[in-house]
Amino acid sequence: MSTEHVLVTGGAGYIGSHVVRQLSEAGYRVIVYDNLSTGSAEALVHGETLVVGDLEDTGKLDGVFRSYAPAAVLHFAAAIVAPESVSDPLKYYANNTANTLRLLQACVRHGVGRFIFSSTAAVYGFPEGGIAAESSPTVPINPYGTSKLMSEWMLRDTALAHGLRYVALRYFNVAGADPQSRMGQRTPEATHLIKVSCQAALGMRQGVSIFGTDYPTADGTGIRDYIHVEDLAAAHLAALAYLEREGESDTFNVGYGRGSSVREVIRVVREVSGIDFPVTEAARRPGDPGELVARADRIRNVLGWEPKFDDLQTIVADAWRWERKLAGV
């Protein structure tokens, strides 16, 4: 049970809020730094300290470091929509890369020794055979993935120069919600398949589009490694515990190591909701790989991470309950 202060940037957002809740339940004193552009103060269910601010405001950021002297920083604040990054790349290099630079500079100024970074499988681009290991080539195909990879490089070099130790976690497809529906994904225009399908079942969207039915997969649709947000959050606590044990800086995939197709996800949402909804088939989107699945044995072996929600039915059921709550049903 730790009583140290930890600083969580973007901690009022979808993933960050789940991590914040688990940190509080583990005894950490959590300071959330969030501009609330996409996050919500309502997601902080244990009365965590919230400082509303932007990472561009280095004066306010320095004030937080001086006031709370965090022992660790967990960095979630970022723009995350890959297609938008193609049309507005400078937004992503500003929000993701430049703001990570400012945060790392603050960590160096204030002597923070532990850092956990929210990265992405988008750094891999099109991995060979659709399977990505941490050792796979990093060749991102959009500014979102590039902005995160650049942040990883800065983190690596800062650690070498200043003694900071870090864990970078490369997420695959995060989905689901807190099983008690205290928090979940609030973004109204989200593009994630499970959320979109649940909203279609609730009549909030006209239907769901399948982009590409001619991939070399069993049913012709794309395959992704969907991970429950609760398991993803637990990976961050495992990473923090690893750093507290003086673990060396490292990078880990966070996925289950198995994939589900678009058609399979739609089928499970229909089963869980008991509602049929329209599905249309469309051409492939540029840049979508046919399959993207994690090789995820290292995080289990090194961090001792053991997922508890590794089941598509469970992921969808928790997402469905959350979407019903948001819709007031």
Residue 298's pLDDT band (cuts 50, 70, 90)? very high
Query: Cα–Cα distance between 277 and 80 in angstroms, integer?
Result: 27
The Cα–Cα gap between 111 and 105 comes to: 10
pLDDT-based confidence at 2, cuts 50/70/90? low
Mean pLDDT confidence for 69-95 = 94
Instruction: Note the pTM of the prediction, 2 decimals.
Output: 0.95
The CATH class given to the 5-175+226-254 domain equals: alpha beta
pLDDT at 3: 67
What are 29-69's pLDDT values in tens digits? 999 999 999 999 999 999 999 999 999 999 999 999 999 99
Residue 83's pLDDT is what?
Answer: 83
Candidate CATH numbers 3.90.25.10, 3.40.1160.10, 2.60.120.480, 3.40.50.300; the one for domain 193-225+257-327: 3.90.25.10
Q: What is the mean pLDDT of residues 9-30?
A: 97
Q: Where in the chain is the domain with CATH 3.40.50.720?
A: 5-175+226-254
pLDDT in tens, 180-226: 999 999 987 788 999 999 999 999 999 999 999 999 999 999 999 99
Side-chain half-sphere exposure of 113, counting CA atoms within 13 A: 10
pLDDT tens-digit profile of 151-187?
A: 999 999 999 999 999 999 999 999 999 999 999 999 8
Confidence of residue 288 (pLDDT cuts 50, 70, 90): confident
Residues 210 and 276: beta-carbon distance below 8 Å? no
Q: Is 275 a residue whose pLDDT tops 80?
A: yes
Q: Which two tokens stand for residue 278?
A: 């329209």
| Residue 226 designated active-site | no
Q: Tokens 């990505």 identify what position?
A: 132
pLDDT, residue 10, reads: 97
Residue 1 in this model has a pLDDT that exceeds 50? no
- Identified catalytic residue from 14, 28, 124, 144: 144
CATH 3.90.25.10 domain extents, the chain: 193-225+257-327
Give the pLDDT of residue 263.
98
Q: What is the DSSP string of 219-247?
A: TSS-EE-EEEHHHHHHHHHHHHHHHHTTP
Q: What is the DSSP letter of 248?
A: P
- 217 within 8 A of 198, measured Cβ to Cβ: no
- Give yes or no for residue 248 having a pLDDT over 90: yes
Mean pLDDT score, 79-101 = 93
Give the bridge partners for 114, in sequence order: 72, 165
- Return mean pLDDT, the chain: 95
| Torsion, Cα of 83, 170, 129, 80 (10° steps) | -10
